[in-house]
Each structure stands twice: as C-alpha cells, then as structure tokens.
Amino acid sequence: MGTFTYNNSFDDDGDGDNLNGATEYGTAGTGLGVFNSPNSGDGDNEFVFYSGQNEENRLDLNANLTGSERVNSFAAEMTLDFTTQPGPWGDGESDGLTFNLGDPSSLSSTEEQGVSTGLSVRLAPFNWGTAGYSGNVIEIRWNDSVIGVTSVNDLSSPAAATFSVNVDASGNVTVSFGTETASGSIPGTEWTDTSQDGWDFVVAGRTGGNGGEVYIDDVDVSANTVCFVAGTLIDTPNGPVAVETLQPGDAVLTFDNGPQIIRWINARTLNKAQLDATPNLRPIIIHAGALGAGFPKTDLRVSRQHRVMARSRIAGRMFGCHEILMPAVKLLNIPGVCVDINADSVTYVHFLCQRHEVVLANGLPSETLLLGDEALKTLGQEALDEIRAIFPDIDADVSQPATAKVIPDHARLKKFVARHRDNNKPILTIAELDAVQADAAGTDFGHSI
C-alpha cells in the first residue's frame, strides 16, 4: 500500500471536505473537530482533539489496508500544540495523544494509550504520579510493548511544534516533537512479516478529568509516489505519446535538457472499490487552461502528490526564482482544479530518466519521478531491485536528490496559491517572463521545448 498519502491543513480546499477523506470519532464533549482554535493565534482551522474535561477524539486517515496490502515505510509530520486552560477538575493539563499505525479496534478505551496491535507513538505531556501510568515521556510501542522511550520535562512547553514519525523499510522508528526525540526498532522481522490487514493510520487522545486543549494542523502522511494517469500525452521528439505506451529506451522532451531517455517505467491500476475505500488515491483533475493560457492544453489527471511547474513573478518574489515545482493537491483552491470524484478506476504510471526532469504532460510542465528516500521505500522490492540494477549508484544520491526545480515547503505554497487566486494571476506564464528576461539579458530566452 505504498502509495497512500494524506495531507490536510483543515481548511476548505474546494471539495467541501475539511477532513480530506479522513473520519472523526469524537466520543464526548462539544469542543471537538475542525474549527479555528482560539489558542492557535491565526485565522486558519485546526483539528481539535479535546478542550474540556472528559473529552476524547480520534482521526482515522482511512488507509484501510486489506489482505496483503501493507505500509512498507512512511513519514508523518504535523504541527502539534498542547495548551492549558484552568478547569474545575484540575489545572487544564491534558492526558496525552498518540499517532498510530495499527488495528483501530485495538485502540485503548483511554485513547491516549494508543493501539495494542501495531505501532503506537505516545506523547504524555504531564506526569500525574498514578501507579502504572508513565508520564513526561515520548514512548514508542509495538504490539503494546515499549521499544523506545525518552523522558521529558514538559511536552507542553514547545507549543505549536513539529511532531514527526518516520519508519524505514527495516522497522526503525524515529520520532521528534520540538527539540525532543525518541527512537526504537521493531524486533526481528516483525515489521515485514506481520499482517497489516485491517490496519489504519489513527491519531487519538483525550483529557480525562481535566480540561486543556490539544490540536493538530498541516498534517502530512506521505509515501510520495509520483504518477501520471494513463492516457496522459507526453511530448517526445516524434510528437505527443500516451504515457502508458512509453517504454524504457524511448526519448521524451524535457523542459531544460532536450531529449532524454526513459530508463525505467512502471504502472499500477486501482479499481473503484479501492478508490472508494481510500479517497486520497483519487486523481486530481487540472482542467484545460486552469493554470494559464494553454496550461494544460487538455484536461490533465495526476496523483495528488505529483508536482507540476509554476512560473510567475510572484514565485520570483516569494522564492527567489521564477520556476518552482508544487504538488497538484496544493492547487485545489485554483478554479478549474478539483478531485476526480467520478473515477471508476485509474491507472497511474511513473517513469525515470537519468535525472529528475520536467516534461510536458498534456502541454503542462510536470515532473518525472524524483528518486528521494521516500520514493525508493514505497515502490516495492521488485521495482526497487530493478531500479538499483539500472542506477547502481542510486543509494548514494537519494538523501538529498537533485531536483529539476526548486520545491518550496508546503506552508509557503498555501500563501503562494492564495496570492495568485486573489490577484487573478495565472500560475504558469511563459511569454511575459521570457520577454522580461530577454530584455534584461539583451538576448532571446527560451527552453528546450
């Protein structure tokens, strides 16, 4: 199940679903769910887990693994904030929160304890001095046994800090929250051998008898597989060719480096049941002309995390360069960009050239597969062995892979898109910027395609 991704800032992205396909299970209280926390200090929504006494909540991301499907590795990141507020049953200090990949039915009735089947990362921000209850810790559990723990003074101190969980293909777990870290390793071959049938990503927590709010924002759980949808036309020296008909050895035209040879290509088909069960696997539609005149020439469908090129003066002012790459899902607030909710099936195709490149897909500059750490982890062993045979030095280059264009962080992209939308400026302009640069340089300006 290496292609599962979940990204959410809990603001309306144009599809009317602030949970982006996830499911909330609030079991008590009224101050739960998606709204702008009064403690967040901004005007954006957050997902609030609890704010009064005896409140608890959970967010299931709906990976919904079945049969032999499994998560080989993953990276999760979010902004997390424990806050305090005085209450009649205590000093407003919350009991804790967990991030889990496991069987949701094994989730403890005290939800901050996490799942007993699978992986659970527990943040216990305070110590109540109760027998059998560990506090002031970051704790990593596998099948309800502690495999890593770090004692901390007070996890509420960082306030609105980055919380991240990373698991590699061997079952090594690294966790950080603010400046605090913890690590552990899942025993033996249990990570690769244990069935994940029925598992899901779940975030859960509660206050117990005390008040105290906790919320998350800017959640990013990602396997980062980059895919074109079958039927996409890729420009080649012989004209546009459907991506699913391309083969290793075929040449494609690149935005910066002329014709380049495809070294590896692969495809995966998802049926209606899989798309209905996991809405985040549905493609994004970028309708003709949505990003600028002729961009794309015809409707383009890509996976949520597939990056397309933006080129504008706003990009130059915000990022110091006019050309950037950004995930299609970040464009959902642009008119003409939406989730394909009617797809009965989809075939995703991804391919590699010698290096990360920008090609034309239905006339829109779009990336080829970027071989970063996460992409390698999620392609599956057979595909990984094939890629390593073709690119024998790949493992030395993936930690900081060379990208075809600048890839800004997700937080700044939200403001970038808002500025284009509010000022009615196209995301992608060619002629205007070419004229500006040609005049400045005193020469013609152009690209390979």
Interval 437-445 mean pLDDT: 41
At residue 323, the pLDDT reads: 94
In the chain, the amino acid numbered 396 is A
Decide if pLDDT at 257 tops 50.
yes
Q: 448 versus 176: which is more confidently predicted?
A: 176
Give Cα 386 distance to the centre of its chain: 26
Cα–Cα nearest to 14, from 335, 307, 272: 335
At residue 34, the pLDDT reads: 82
Interval 186-204 mean pLDDT: 86
d(CA 113, CA 188): 24
Cα–Cα nearest to 33, from 55, 12, 11, 57: 57
Please state, in angstroms and as integers, the Cα–Cα distance from residue 85 to each residue in 55, 137, 177, 222, 332, following that order: 14, 21, 21, 33, 36
At residue 45, the pLDDT reads: 85
At residue 88, the pLDDT reads: 38
Three-class secondary structure of residue 432 per DSSP: helix
**Per-position b or e across 98-118, b if 16+ CB within 10 A of its CB:** bbbbbbbebbeeebbbbbbbb
Q: What are phi and psi of 139, to 5 degrees?
A: -125, 130
At residue 326, the pLDDT reads: 92
At residue 2, the pLDDT reads: 38
The beta-carbon contacts of 183-188 under 8 Å, at least 24 apart in sequence, are: 183/140, 183/148, 184/140, 184/142, 184/146, 184/147, 184/148, 184/149, 185/147, 185/148, 186/119, 186/142, 186/147, 187/142, 187/147
Confidence of residue 179 (pLDDT cuts 50, 70, 90): confident
**Average pLDDT of the chain, as a whole number:** 79
Please state, in angstroms and as integers, the Cα–Cα distance from residue 210 to each residue in 52, 62, 207, 213, 430, following that order: 7, 30, 5, 10, 57
Decide if pLDDT at 70 tops 80.
no
Q: First and final CA of the chain: distance in angstroms?
A: 36
Would you tell me how many other CB atoms lie within 10 Å of the CB of residue 396?
7
Decide if pLDDT at 157 tops 80.
no
Decide if pLDDT at 15 tops 60.
no
pLDDT tens sequence across 331-381 = 988 999 998 988 888 888 889 898 899 999 999 999 998 876 556 555 656
pLDDT tens sequence across 268-286 = 788 888 888 777 788 899 9
Residue 182 tokens, joined: 């913890």
Q: What are phi and psi of 260, to 5 degrees?
A: -135, 150
pTM for the model: 0.54
d(CA 2, CA 168): 12
At residue 93, the pLDDT reads: 61
Cα three-residue angle 360-411-357, rounded to 5 degrees? 20
Interval 167-196 mean pLDDT: 86
pLDDT tens sequence across 18-58 = 887 888 886 555 567 787 877 777 778 888 876 566 667 78
Would you tell me how many other CB atoms lie within 10 Å of the CB of residue 246?
18
d(CA 398, CA 170): 17
Q: What are phi and psi of 242, to 5 degrees?
A: -60, 130
Q: What percent of the chain has pLDDT over 70?
A: 73
At residue 170, the pLDDT reads: 72
Q: Sheet holding 346-352: strands in order across?
A: 264-270, 346-352, 228-229, 300-302, 284-286, 337-339
Going by their DSSP bridges, the two strands 96-102 and 118-124 should be labelled as antiparallel
Decide if pLDDT at 448 tops 80.
no
pLDDT tens sequence across 287-311 = 999 999 999 999 999 988 889 999 9
| DSSP element (H, E) containing 56 | strand 56-60
Going by their DSSP bridges, the two strands 239-242 and 364-367 should be labelled as unpaired
d(CA 3, CA 225): 6
d(CA 428, CA 413): 14
Decide if pLDDT at 1 tops 80.
no
pLDDT tens sequence across 412-435 = 888 899 999 999 999 998 765 554
Q: 121 versus 436: which is more confidently predicted?
A: 121
Q: Determine contact, residues 147/93, Cβ cutoff 8 Å.
A: no
Residues near 383 by Cβ (< 8 Å), separated by ≥ 6?
Answer: 266
